[in-house]
Amino acid sequence: MNRFLVKARISKFREEFSIKDIIGILVGSLILAFAIEALLVPANVLTAGITGLAIILNFTTPIPVWFWVLALNVPVFIAGYKFVSKRFIIYSLIATFSQALFLWMFQPLSINIDDLLLAAIFGGVVAGVGAGIIFRYKGSSGGLDIIAVIFKRFWGYNIGQTFFIGNISVLALSLIILNLELALFSAISIYIASKVLDSVEAGPQVGRTAIIISDKSDDIAYNIMNTLHKGCTYLPGQGAYSGQDKKIIMVTVGKTQLPRLKEIVFQLDSKAFISVNETIEAYGHGFKTSKYDF
């Protein structure tokens, strides 16, 4: 009985739909469609995932890219609606239909860049920005995300493996339809787009989280809070060899503050141990507020 009472008191998460998210998805779809139709397709260079497959089908048939984007993505979203959230499906459908619309609008637009390497780099950057904005606002730019979730659910493949296999398959098809040179330029474009996507999705405020072990934890924490104005957390620890109890300091700082953090620590304790990790996002006092993205 008590278990049911506890469950009744638990606050449940509720997905909320936001005009800000929808506008962000539309902007991202506009940028992605521009990159595909104006930069990549004229150069015969591909992008990643199902959209890349749509470009290949456009090269081999008289049917435009926008039609293939709809024909390939919509059935995947319908098939996968049980495995992802309702909001993700709706947002991703908005992204898919708006992307198809913008691809249709941009059909007459073509920026002919003679240098294929420049076209691949610039097209990859712009495509990555567009896809990253869509992801940042909780949507998806293509059905490969859903396929990855389905593969993980039924066959145990992780999402990274499915993305890798999907993109390799697109590049393999490009070898058959196009040629080795264009396939290699497409690989460059896909790689750049993926890196830019990660940067845009995570945002510019990448920080550093440090774990500090020292016999002078109180002094170090005091100086971090009063010099860098960042909060610290004590984690209980114990030396495996010495058996001594330790106050382990955990602190997240901006990447430009890391040199000062190390200066503070080693000035107070030259024998201190520090482990530093990259922090993609940090929320709370001194960082982003929870309303920044959500």
Residue-number span of the structural domain to which 262 is assigned? 207-279
With a CB cutoff of 8 Å and minimum separation 6, the contacts of 80 are 89, 143, 146, 147, 149, 150
- What's the total number of domains in the chain? 2
* pLDDT by position in tens, the chain (length 294): 455 554 556 666 677 888 999 999 999 999 999 999 999 988 888 888 888 888 888 888 889 988 998 888 888 887 777 777 788 888 888 998 999 999 999 988 878 787 889 999 999 999 989 988 988 888 887 677 778 777 777 777 666 677 778 888 888 888 888 888 888 888 898 888 888 887 787 666 668 899 999 999 999 999 999 888 888 999 999 888 888 888 999 999 887 788 889 999 999 999 999 999 988 777 766 666 554 443
Whether 55 and 141 map to the same domain: the answer is: yes
Whether 253 and 179 map to the same domain: the answer is: no
pTM of the model: 0.73
Does residue 11 sit within a domain? no
Which domain-ending residue is among 202, 225, 244?
202
- Chain centre to alpha carbon of residue 9: 34
Which domain-ending residue is among 142, 172, 202?
202
Which domain-ending residue is among 163, 186, 202?
202
The pLDDT score that the predictor gives to residue 293 is 41
41 CB-contact burial (10 Å; exposed 0-12 / middle 13-18 / buried 19+): buried
Whether 111 and 192 map to the same domain: the answer is: yes
Does residue 291 sit within a domain? no
b/e per residue, 256-285, with b = 16+ CB within 10 A? ebbeebeebbeebbeebebeeeebeebeee
Whether 135 and 195 map to the same domain: the answer is: yes
Whether 189 and 238 map to the same domain: the answer is: no
What type of residue sits at position 128?
Answer: G
132/139 Cα distance (integer angstroms): 10
Closest CA to 35 of 49, 45, 50, 26: 45
